[in-house]
Amino acid sequence: MLILKAVSLKPLHGYGVLQRIRQISGNALEIPQGSLYPALYRLEHQGLIAPEWGQSENNRRAKYYTLTSAGRRRLREEAAGWNRLASAIAAALRTTSKEV
């Protein structure tokens, strides 16, 4: 979900994805570098992201990933699911003994 979110903002290459996740999560989340690529390939295989070769900032050939429409849908669903879960947990944590 995080990868999808990262890619949804702007087409990114693998290294960019790592940095973006670190950035948007405020350095709180860090994905092990080795497991990023298999994850990317899995998403590509599922048709959620589409690869495209392009020029990097420093003029190198790099593979950029963009979100496909299927990916966008999935991101929405997962985000909604996550929010539901998060608010449910938050609500659960807010309850005090009085309310029981």
Partner 1 sequence: MLARLHALLRALTSRRDFEAGLTEELRFHIEQHTEDLVRSGISPEEARRRARMEFGGINTVKEDCREARGLMVFDELERECRYAARQLWRNPGFTGTVILTLALAIGANSAIFSLVNALLLNELPYTHPERIGTLYARTSGPQSSDTRRTIDGEQWERVRDDVPSLLSAVSAMRTSGVNVRAGSVVQYLHAGRVSAQYFDVLVLHPVMGRNFSEDEDRPQGPRTAILSYALWETAFGGNPNVLGQTVLLKSEPHTIIGVLPEGATTPLNADVYTALQPGREGEGQAANFVAIMRLRDAATWQQADAELNRALSGTVRARRVASTNPGARLTYYSVPLQIAATDTLRPQALALMLAAGFILLIACANIAGLTLVRMLRRTDEITIRLALGASRWQIHRQLWIEHLLLAFVGGTAGIGVGFLALRGLLLLLPEHFLPVASVSLDSRVLGFTLSLSLLTSVLSGMWPALITKRVDLRSGRGVIGGGSIRLRQALIAGEVALTVVLLAATGLLIRTLIGLQTIPPGFNPTGVITAKASLDDVRYHDPAAFRDLLTESLTAMREIPGVQSAAVGLTLPYERALLDAVTLSDGKEAGQQITTNEVYVTPRYFDTLQVPVLAGRTFTDADGPDTQHVVVVNQTFARKFFHQENVVGRYLNKNMLIVGVVADTVLSSEARLNAGTAPLTSEETIYLPAAQMVNVRFLTLVHGFFQPSWIVRAASSKGVPARMQRALTSADPQLPISGFYYVKDLMAATLATQRIAVAVLAAMSSLALLLSAVGIFALVANIVAQRTREIGIRMALGSTIRQTMIQVGRSGVGASALGLLLGLILCAGALPAMRSVLYGVGVYDAPTMLVVVLTLCAVTLLATTPILRVARIDPARTLREE
C-beta of 26: minimal distance to partner 1 in Å? 19
HEC string of 32-46? CHHHHHHHHHHHHHC
- Show the beta-strand stretches assigned E in the chain: 12-13, 49-55, 61-67
C-beta of 100: minimal distance to partner 1 in Å? 46
Q: Which residue, 76 or 84, is less far from partner 1 as judged by CB? A: 76
Binding mask 14-43 toward partner 1 (x if CB under 8 A, else -) reads xx----------------xxxx-xxx-xx-
